[in-house]
Amino acid sequence: MALASRRLRIVFRYVASDVSHLRVISPPAVRRKALGAALAAAVLLPATAAAGERTLRARATYVPNDSGLAVAASTGGWAAVQWELNGPFGINAPQAWSQASRLGGSGGRGVTIAVLDSGVAYSRRGAYRRSPDLAITRIAKGYDFVDKDPYPNDEYGHGTFVASTIAATANNAYGTVGVAYRAKIMPIRVLDFEGRGYPSTIARAIRYAVLKGADVINLSLELYDGPPLAPTPRSVTASRGVRAALADARRAGVVVVSAAGNSSDPNVPAKKYDTLAINVGGTTEHGCLGDYSNHGPGLDLVAPGGGADADVAGDGNCQPSGEAGRDISAVSFRAESPARFEILPRFRGTSTAAPHVAGVVALVLAAGVLGDEPAPGLVERHLESRARDLGAPGRDRDYGAGLVDAAAATATPPPVTPSG
């Protein structure tokens, strides 16, 4: 049977220090090219800053007061919790926030990021509540492709975690800070309450996001094929239908960011279709490839995913026999308690790495460092050229072009001084 005709399963693997199992299984508005009547461009709604957000232009870096806890307290404790934003092997977010603000793109303002996942805790509905760290003014209208209704509430918790990593409210004296804290989130539910979904659903959801005006799409998903106890990991591009949808998104000018997957596979993603999305692997607090992360010839970038180090030959950052680094923190909920929000511990994987890159893309678009409507390929090359080299010198299959660097990506080129 041809690969495209198989009913491949979309899988999110939740990796934790005490639990590890498979669950079968995102500037001002960017104008996009016409893609025919079926994918006509939509006008983006202007983003509105949440109450309490402000831009500190006079400071060298923007320092929000978020507590780092799921309680209200103006402590600035996020900086101690979110090593991935400001640590030695973080993405240099504070400097990027200040640079983007000076260029008029504070916190990714005006950019809409579609999160194709298990939904988002974006509203109060039945047993569900809105996350205190996601402002209702920065939620774009989405859709539930699982229940086929316009209410993409999260029933699993993963999508809310991803959305918070991208765009948790800044300076609200609560929780964590999103990479692009003023961007809009478009919640699109493609995974059920157990994290299950199918490529055909993903393909429809990608086209929906393009039609509804998303500038960026985050896919913290991976495909699996084969028996449940011994599945074969594949890139999302293993599905012909998903590839076609990704090609449509690229032609429409929408940047897609995709998690590489959590099966430690050295041959995923493949090179053949890597131009369809920015493929992201996960790194640890030590600056090493995560022991869970897929890594192959089609890997573009890496970003913080947390967890233990892989054994990468010749990489002095890696400590595979040492203590694991910290995981990623964000506000979400456990599936059994959808109305109780907390800083969830033990989240690690490429599912948490990809949204860091999606957030950096939003900062770049909002700041306009590549112009008003940069093509997805230009955005990808820009991030790769400004990435921090890890591992062997130059591009390699363990780290791609390197660790995404938000500060370098939002820096304007130095002025050219005329000679003579």
Residue 176 near residue 146, CB atoms below 8 Å: no
For residue 108, give the DSSP letter: G
Residue 123 has which token pair? Answer: 């509203």
Q: Which of 26, 158, 258, 356 is catalytic?
A: 158
Residue 210 near residue 376, CB atoms below 8 Å: no
Q: Which of 263, 351, 356, 396 is catalytic?
A: 351
Nearest to 224 by CA among 9, 390, 59, 5: 9
3-state secondary structure of 45: coil
Strand 184-189 with 112-117, pairing: parallel
Is 117 part of the annotated catalytic residue set? yes
- CA–CA gap between residue 237 and residue 4 (Å, rounded): 10
Is 286 part of the annotated catalytic residue set? no
- CA–CA gap between residue 127 and residue 121 (Å, rounded): 11
Is 291 part of the annotated catalytic residue set? no
Q: Which of 66, 117, 154, 300 is catalytic?
A: 117
- CA–CA gap between residue 50 and residue 292 (Å, rounded): 36
Residue 216 near residue 340, CB atoms below 8 Å: no
For residue 411, give the DSSP letter: P
Residue 134 has which token pair? Answer: 């996601």
Q: Which whole-number Å values give the CA distances from 20 to 116, 263, 286, in the listed order?
A: 23, 12, 22
Nearest to 210 by CA among 173, 182, 248: 248
Give the active site residues.
Answer: 117, 158, 351
